[in-house]
Chain A
C-alpha cells in the first residue's frame, strides 16, 4: 500500500503546544502570535530603555544584538574578506593647543594605525575628515568625555568617531603632555 505524506501526517497525533497550534483556528493562531510578539516587544523595549537610562546609551542592547548576530547569522553565513570602516576624527582645544600642526599630524597618526590594521587584520580604515570640537570646562574624565561625545557629537554616518583629547600636566612637573585619543566611539 502506498503511503502518502498526507496519510502519514494524519496518523501523527502531536500533543502539547504543537497540537494546540495545529488544531487552532486561524484567528486563534493570530491571537497567540500577537500576544507572543507583544510580550517580546515589551521585554525588548524595557531592556533597551533601562539600558539607555542606566548607561546613557544602548550599551548592553548592542552587545546582545552583536552576540546574537555573531552566533547565529554569521555562523550560518560566515563573512570573509576585508572589513571597510569609515572614520571621523575630532580634536579638542587642549589637543589642538599642544599640537599646533594637528591638521597634518592627525592624518599621519591615522595612516600609521590604518596601515597596521589593514596589514595585520585586513580591516581597512578610511579617514573621512578632521574636525575641531570644544570640550566643556571641567569635563576631564575619559568616561565622561565618551558619554558626552556619544550624546552631543554627530558622527555623521561614520562607522567610527575618534575624539582626541589631551591633559595638560601641572606646572613645574617638567613633562609635556602628549595627545591621548579617547577610545574610538562606535
Chain B
C-alpha cells in the first residue's frame, strides 16, 4: 500500500479510529487498522467507520 493508504489510516486516528494489534479479537480482520493487514489493504472496518462518524465533529486543536 502506498502513502495515501497510510495517510487515510492516520487521519482516521484523529477521529477516534483504533488499531488492532496482535492479541486483539479483530486482529485477523481485513482492515487497515489491523497490524496484520495494514500494509495490504486500505479498507476501513465497520467499527472504526462508526468511530470516525461518531467523532466527525470533535474539536481539533
Contact = CB atoms under 8 A, between A and B. Distances in A.
A74 B4 contact: no
Q: Identify the interface centre among B4, B11, B61: most chain A CB within 10 Å of its CB.
A: B11
Contacts of A122: 56
Contacts of A49: none
Contacts of B15: 121, 123
Contacts of A184: 10-11, 13-14
A69 interface: yes
A59 to B, nearest CB: 11
Interface residues of A, number: 36
Interface in A133-186: 159-160, 162, 164, 178-184, 186
Interface size class of B (residues with CB under 8 A): 20 to 34
18 contacts: A79-B57, A85-B60, A105-B3, A108-B4, A112-B4, A113-B7, A113-B8, A121-B52, A121-B53, A122-B56, A123-B52, A164-B3, A179-B6, A180-B3, A182-B10, A183-B14, A184-B13, A186-B60
Given A66-B58, A180-B6, A184-B14, 5 more contacts: A109-B2, A110-B7, A181-B3, A181-B7, A186-B61
Interface of A: 58, 62, 65-66, 69-70, 74, 79, 83, 85, 105-106, 108-110, 112-113, 116-117, 120-123, 125, 159-160, 162, 164, 178-184, 186
